[in-house]
Amino acid sequence: MDMTVERLAEFGAAWKKKDLDLLMEFMTDDCVFVASVGIEPGTTFRGREEVRRGFALMLAYDEGYESQGGEAFIVGDRGASKWSYTRTDEDGRVHEVHGCDIFAFDGDRIRVKDAYRRVRGDIGDAAAGQA
């Protein structure tokens, strides 16, 4: 069986529920997770034990944000999905994080989850610092 957009949406739902056991059911034994934050930039986790640890770290990192799904597509054994997180401060200020995951599949399981994110900021601030 091959990965489907519906099955990939189930993975997203497991992420939203923060269900590590269910998330790991989607992963292959030789899985790789490249997180969207970390020291590389990002951090790469290899193998089921490390990927589970990486998923737990990312869920904790994004604590307090509400997960929003997005569109996804699959072509052969590769795919991508968009996602976002939002959080509103006590003063009403909204924080947003948008991102996407690039996937490699082995049948109906995820072999690689490579995450990218972008955050709100003034790109002019970077240019001002260069002057």
Q: How far apart are CA 98 and CA 55, in angstroms?
A: 17
> If 0-12 CB within 10 Å is exposed, 13-18 middle and 19+ buried, where does residue 63 land?
exposed
Residues above pLDDT 70, as percent of the chain: 91
User: What does the pLDDT read at residue 64?
Assistant: 87
103 vs 89, more confident: 103
User: What does the pLDDT read at residue 94?
Assistant: 87
Tens of pLDDT along 38-48? 888 889 999 99
Q: How far apart are CA 52 and CA 29, in angstroms?
A: 11
CATH number among 3.10.450.50, 3.30.930.10, 3.90.920.10, 3.40.50.920, domain 5-121 = 3.10.450.50
128 vs 115, more confident: 115
Give the type of residue at 108: D
Q: Where are the domains of the chain?
A: 5-121
Q: How far apart are CA 48 and CA 87, in angstroms?
A: 30
Q: Which of 88, 129, 83, 120 is nearest to 102 (CA)?
A: 83
49 vs 131, more confident: 49
Dihedral angle of Cα 19, 31, 71, 58, to the nearest 10 degrees: 50
